[in-house]
Structure 1
Amino acid sequence: MLDWRAYIDETARAVSFLSRLPVPDRCFTGHDGSLSRTAAAFPLAGLLIALPSAFVLWLSQMLSADATIAALLTIAVNVAITGALHEDGLSDTADGLGGGHDREKALTIMKDSRIGTYGALALILSIALRTTALAALCTPGANTPAIAAWLAGASLSRGLMAWHWSALPSARVEGVASRAGAPGKQIANLALVLGGALAIALGWLTLPLAPLLAAVCVSGAISYVFTARIRHRLGGQTGDTIGACQQFAEIGFLVTLAIAL
């Protein structure tokens, strides 16, 4: 297990890996580049990465911006901060699964930097579903529920992303995820528990408990089904499927909350 000092360093490394936010060089002194322990900090890193976009959401609501505009601005800022890391994974995964009739063909398509029809549609639907769901959570006169939901989804989805990474072997030995070092079961479980705990804690004071727990469960179920599907089609995870898992988990969480509330 990690002590709190080591966890701070791992969180900084996770922020650097998952976003374009600057991190002090001292956090990487003596580090071998492995992410096998860093994955434990993914949920907290996800929360920190989402803070700037959460501020945009708060400011947009304070300025009485239309809910859809506020939600779209929030997601746009988040995409800029993460460098569309997870969206890229979703797009490549959709192209591979949609266009590849067998494992090798799917993996070959996923390595191609060009975007296809399935990938484009996946991106459109991801942005549309998250924007619509977040806009539905923007209640006039009460901006905290939407902000809490946004931050909770960011934390939970990163925990589930780490679990997906650990639950499957690497589909490509030369892939980025394989070279980075998959987290062990103990680290993945820590990330999963922390992601769920942060999601519940963030939403506890501003969101009804039943819809919140339902959203956590649906997000987890979607991630489980997606992981099972990847196991069947590809035999293992890649960096793209890890990113896609984050997107599915976040979509499931936000959409469930928007429907339940």
Structure 2
Amino acid sequence: MFAALREALRFAFGTLSVLPVRVSRWDRPTAGRAMAIAPVVGVVLGALAAGVAAGLAWAHSGALLAAVAGVGTLAALTRGLHLDGLADVADGLGSSRPPAAALKIMKASDIGPFGVIVLMLTLLAQIAAVARCFDLGLERGAFALLLAGVTSRTTLLRGCQEGVPSAREDGLGAMVAGTVRRRHAAAIALLTVTLLFLAGYCLAESGDDRLPLALGALVAAVAGLALASVLLTHCVRRFGGMTGDVLGAMVESSATVALLVWTLFAAATP
């Protein structure tokens, strides 16, 4: 059991981050366990990004520079893998081509106009949201990055859930497609959202703020997961299944929505 968990952790961190972890076992059972614990990767990456951004904010760098550093750290910790997937999916969906042709566009190494626009707007929205949160307080800004990291990686449970087909016969998407059982995905997602709710509750400095911030964390996480699920459903219909790029698009879109919703709650709470 512990050996299987160790291999799953290696697979998860080895494929979802640039951390120096060697993937020693590459098979579907291990992939399923790895995607099931993807929220753990989100905790680590989100905490690292929050630490970098909070350190700069504490040193009076300004909220904007702290936000750029935090969002940039999250991107760097994945070599921009999910951002690349977002751009590819935007090009594929924007092409209005048949599934096979759209998948070919997504696989190309270049980036098209739809990808550029979506990528730019997504990064601007993330940076603006995190900067606003740091304006509201060091803790709220740092928590925004942690929330985004955890919520976005939790979407992988839905993307790799059993019943979701792969649009290709090879690649990371084909390896992880359908490897997570529905009941496991639901239980882990529920646990993750509950922990984020409790974290938001503990974040408040006064008792009157605890419930609004806890609800903010809850609604932000649920909104991010819901949008990613809608995007997945549309991509499966459009492309005939999911791909690694689709998973990346789910990660970035859910992170953006979670950040925007959390910012609204944080700003509305004194």
TM-based fold match above 0.5: yes
Match of 1:81 among 74, 77, 80: 77
1:192 aligns with 2:186: no
1:259 aligns with 2:267: no
1:148 aligns with 2:146: no
Residues 237, 181 of structure 1: CA spacing in aligned structure 2 closer, same or farther, 3 A cutoff? Answer: closer
1:117 aligns with 2:122: no
Structure 1 range deviating more: 202-211 or 114-123:
202-211
Is the 2:147–2:217 contact (alpha carbons within 8 Å) kept by the matching residues of 1?
Answer: no
Cα offsets for 1:95-151 (capped at 9, x unmatched): 1110132212211111111100011111101110110111111135x3112212211
Helix, strand or coil at the partner of 2:84: helix
Amino acid at match of 1:157: S
Is the 1:14–1:45 contact (alpha carbons within 8 Å) kept by the matching residues of 2?
Answer: yes
Q: Give the superposition deviation at 1:188.
A: 3.0
Is the 1:19–1:81 contact (alpha carbons within 8 Å) kept by the matching residues of 2?
Answer: yes
Q: Give the superposition deviation at 1:11.
A: 2.4
Inter-partner Cα distance in structure 2 for 1:8 and 1:174: 25
Cα offsets for 1:60-96 (capped at 9, x unmatched): 1111122111100111122112100100110100011
Within 5 Å, which residues of 2 pair with 1:164-179?
164-166=159-161, 168-179=164-175
Inter-partner Cα distance in structure 1 for 2:252 and 2:113: 18
Structure 1 runs not aligned, ≥5 long? none
Inter-partner Cα distance in structure 2 for 1:5 and 1:153: 30
Is the 1:152–1:203 contact (alpha carbons within 8 Å) kept by the matching residues of 2?
Answer: no
Q: Give the superposition deviation at 1:58.
A: 1.2
Is the 1:93–1:240 contact (alpha carbons within 8 Å) kept by the matching residues of 2?
Answer: yes
Is the 2:85–2:244 contact (alpha carbons within 8 Å) kept by the matching residues of 1?
Answer: yes
Structure 1 runs (4+) deviating above 6 angstroms are none
CA RMSD of aligned residues (A): 2.0
**Aligned match of 2:241:** 236
Q: TM-score, normalised by structure 1?
A: 0.89
Amino acid at match of 2:133: L
Helix, strand or coil at the partner of 2:241: coil
1:32 aligns with 2:21: no
Structure 2 runs not aligned, ≥5 long? 205-212
